[in-house]
Structure 1
């Protein structure tokens, strides 16, 4: 159990949370100590894996507008509970109309992928500057990503756009392996694998992507957008397509860069990962605690935002981008402008 910046992270397997007056009572297996936290101190609760949350507690959090997010122990997003839908119904209606317009939908998806590829390129160029080896290879791959950028607005449909994204992604993850320091005991990183991740590096990436996704999902709801109607990702029951869209431009600099830092500084080592039956790999409880602590600090880091003309904390970037998208959907901006520092 870790309380960080008004977010309660619960990851001790078998723990249970109950409502007790205006507080949450936390019961840890085989630990008789009494633990309570006033609800007024908490803006959100995030539970990983086998955590019990009582119905009265969920109801109180929903009434208060306090989100409760459930993740797997490995960090994969499961669901989020947050009371009645908020925001302007006219904004959500405009969002649905844009989704139904194939050309308009494609333009927003193109902007999302352009932001993703540009930020991936900047990450690789920064890695090349800091690297002692593979500098030439990293710059060459960054150049290939730069060459892919003009083809994005020329994509004629979503399938063609996804093909460009897939090719850029393969180049990017090839380069990512070159930025890892030699001698790490977390094994090689050869490609991106998920559901399940089969090596420690993929497990760490997936865990951080889950945290980014939860942040973006919450920002969509806060602004009044429908998280389940996106423009790049298709509609599917239970799939927050818009959250998945807007996290694309944030992956490289918010998640992948933090993962690289934790690994290269050896804050995370082989002992912080478990291999499960069937070959899946996930962070241990100690490993998750390290990541969550660093994640809270990472969210404080300020990044330049060209449209706003000032620096913005990482934790607020999803809200800023959600508001920019909302302004575009309402016709106040001619295009959606992805974040690229």
Structure 2
């Protein structure tokens, strides 16, 4: 299976259009990029980006997703062609979503994957820290997450699972700020996780990268023919891609590492 690329168009006032079998990106009538369509799996546009109608039709025909986000990275719209997969697969998904035991098992696995990966982030930070007090805080956070992993098999209902996940998230984000290098902490302070809206720079970065991750998870789900709206951990409600949110939980720690690396390497500043 070929792994295709996602093209992110972030330059304001860009214009993307079809040029034979190639997507062309123009800024102020100057060509900035050409990408063959067969290399693309998705196109994500941020803010004020214009898209030609012929390109929209071609993307739909080729099964290439077109995603529109606002300037802050919040989801606006999505254009896709015919849905792949068969109805029997979706019927099975819907049936299993109504099976409490199966749904609980999937939700438990989603949370276990998330907590395990978050714990590895803290353990790595503890090993690499040159400040003993900070290394101890990170190690203590990792120990708390290990306790959550041990408690997960005993959770017998979704609310208990979500309570364990919420407490683990609180402990994890309380320690995460110690992974930002000392010289960057004044500009990238973090007092726990907050969103809608994020109240500090690092939370804004996390929300932004999570939105990209969620889009990739949703694309993967739809490519297999599953219904992204029917999840097992996140509560189903109109307009919410619950299964995509379920799937991305295990990968959030990788997004966190990306944000931390961008800050600590000085690749992004205040």
Fold match (TM-score > 0.5): yes
3-state SS in 1 of match to 2:183: coil
> Alpha-carbon deviation of 1:112?
0.7
User: Equivalent residue for 1:109?
Assistant: 107
Contact kept, 8 Å, 1:23 with 1:36, in 2: the verdict is no
> Alpha-carbon deviation of 1:136?
0.9
User: Equivalent residue for 1:177?
Assistant: 177
User: Equivalent residue for 2:65?
Assistant: 67
User: Equivalent residue for 1:237?
Assistant: 238
3-state SS in 2 of match to 1:117: helix
Contact kept, 8 Å, 1:17 with 1:54, in 2: the verdict is yes
> Alpha-carbon deviation of 1:145?
0.8
3-state SS in 1 of match to 2:8: strand
User: Equivalent residue for 1:166?
Assistant: 166
**Counterpart-to-counterpart distance in 1, 2:262 and 2:113:** 24
**Counterpart-to-counterpart distance in 2, 1:41 and 1:150:** 44
CA displacement, residues 178-237 of structure 1 (integer Å, 9 cap, x when unaligned) = 111112152311121212222111111111111211111111112221111110111122
User: Equivalent residue for 1:213?
Assistant: 214
User: Equivalent residue for 1:43?
Assistant: 41
Length, aligned pairs only: 263
The correspondence of residues 1-341 of structure 1 with structure 2, limited to 5 A, is: 6-28=5-27, 31-34=28-31, 37=34, 38-133=36-131, 134-184=134-184, 185-252=186-253, 254-270=254-270
Could you state the TM-score of these two structures normalised by the residue count of structure 2?
0.91
**Counterpart-to-counterpart distance in 2, 1:13 and 1:182:** 33
3-state SS in 2 of match to 1:136: helix
Contact kept, 8 Å, 1:194 with 1:206, in 2: the verdict is yes
**Counterpart-to-counterpart distance in 1, 2:116 and 2:144:** 11
Contact kept, 8 Å, 1:25 with 1:36, in 2: the verdict is yes
3-state SS in 1 of match to 2:18: strand
- Alpha-carbon spacing, 1:79–1:158, altered in 2? closer, same or farther (3 Å): farther
Unaligned runs of 5+ in 2: none
**Counterpart-to-counterpart distance in 1, 2:97 and 2:204:** 33
Contact kept, 8 Å, 1:10 with 1:47, in 2: the verdict is yes
3-state SS in 1 of match to 2:16: strand
> Alpha-carbon deviation of 1:36?
6.4
CA displacement, residues 151-204 of structure 1 (integer Å, 9 cap, x when unaligned) = 212222211111111110000001101111112152311121212222111111
3-state SS in 2 of match to 1:246: helix
3-state SS in 2 of match to 1:153: helix
After superposition, the CA RMSD in angstroms is 1.8
**Counterpart-to-counterpart distance in 2, 1:32 and 1:59:** 22
